[in-house]
Chain A
């Protein structure tokens, strides 16, 4: 906030562009340091230019917005001083003034959004290009694809959205992950409002083998609530509870499956460890997973924003941002290795 007021009153000055390097080779990403030096490092200047340009624009729009907001409230105050209004009219005027204030904030916000998109295109696309992965900033826009897994909450397509999708292959295993923001509408007429049912990250992995049963991991809600959920949720009705040996995992999850052996085959201790790691990485408050047909869907409820650079006020450390992306990928690659998803066993 201090930086904002500093820029607001004293303006934006271009800073010296730091030369961030990517020194080490990461597991599974051999050659990235060289690729970074050749393709990403030269963009540091361009990225910094974009940041300074957008920061200047952001501050300009912020100043305009503040003037606009001041005018709105001065006018509103003036109207109150000179006229007598009923309570109903007063509420209406205050509501309009607040609405107009909100609209004023949209202007600088749009600059931040555009800046974020441009950085994603300039920086992250290159990192994914190195890994032979596709990056689609607006997401798959195909939420219905996740419905058959029976863990996706209800949503209304018109007000729900996808963002930041990465898809590709690792060791012949197709995978994708993206952000989901699902909402439903409640009430009718003037009382209609939207309610968020899910926000977070979904990871979809496609196996080279089919599952004979269906296995679902849900968060542990405690004995009574687990029991009532099992009774109420139709999608769990045909499934049986699986008691696992890992006590720590049992505290976090409730597992239901139509095939007890397959569930135990899939949910090994090291698999559970990797799920926990991934969940920490995504700052997940809740994790759910479902094995169905030849796919595994992992759903992490989290307020994390993937591939978001720190702040428009700070110079972007392209090496750190690149490393964050590689770390995310590495966790998913580890999961694929753990599950031997790509292995064709001939069975």
Chain B
């Protein structure tokens, strides 16, 4: 007999440990993907709203073509599909969304110089919707970062690091709060 009873028990325990760890990594990776989808839903809402804001503002901000073009370009960049399992593509996607948020904040600040725009009821309503979506994005980001943190713990602690290397699973990038989201825009200050 190659294995005694005691050896068999130890082997079973090790196999079970690896299995449960494997299960934990898969569950947490799926949670990260779910959270990423949650971010995308909110980013999509933001993308849908931006053309409305630009349309309302365009009547008043005719000479600000540069910022209009920049926002439009970033919006188009963010609309593209990406591979959710590819770490660099996810990082790039999140970076573009941060850039867009910052650009939108700059756009809103510039809109401050147009009193007629500030008093437009349509713009106020669009502003409220935009703030609401920013709040939702912030919540989605908190969920995503919590899921990434949990996955990172599972794949960086032994024996998770061995399993993750065998499975080809890497830690995902955190979605850092952009300056725009850190200080949400207050409509009352603005108009």
Contact = CB atoms under 8 A, between A and B. Distances in A.
**A in complex with B:** yes
Interface of A: 243, 245, 260-265, 340, 343-347
Residue in A261, A262, A340, A345 with the greatest tally of chain B CB atoms within 10 Å: A261
Interface in B108-127: 125-126
A264 B139 contact: yes
Given A243-B146, A347-B45, A261 B129 contact: no
Grouping DSSP codes into helix (H, G, I), strand (E, B) and loop, the A interface class, with mixed when no group exceeds half, is loop
Interface of B: 35, 38, 42, 45, 125-126, 128-129, 131-133, 135-136, 138-140, 142-143, 146
A263 B133 CA distance: 15
Contacts of B129: 345-347
Contacts of B42: 261
Grouping DSSP codes into helix (H, G, I), strand (E, B) and loop, the B interface class, with mixed when no group exceeds half, is helix
B125 A261 contact: no
Nearest to B141: A264
Contacts of A345: 128-129, 131-132
Contact of B133 (A262, A340, A347): A347
A245 B140 CA distance: 13
Contacts of B139: 261-265
Given A243-B146, A346-B125, A347-B45, A261 B38 contact: yes
13 contacts: A243-B146, A245-B142, A260-B35, A261-B42, A261-B139, A261-B143, A263-B139, A264-B139, A264-B140, A343-B132, A345-B128, A345-B129, A347-B129
B170 to A, nearest CB: 22
Nearest to B131: A345
A260 B143 contact: yes
Contacts of A243: 146
A211 to B, nearest CB: 12
A347 B132 contact: yes
By Cβ-Cβ distance, the 3 closest A-B pairs, closest first, are A265-B139, A264-B139, A345-B132
Contacts of A261: 35, 38, 42, 136, 139-140, 143
Contact of B38 (A260, A340, A347): A260
A218 B138 CA distance: 24
Contacts of A265: 135-136, 138-139
Nearest to A240: B31
Given A265-B136, A340-B132, 12 more contacts: A260-B38, A261-B42, A264-B139, A265-B138, A265-B139, A343-B132, A344-B128, A345-B129, A345-B131, A345-B132, A346-B129, A347-B45
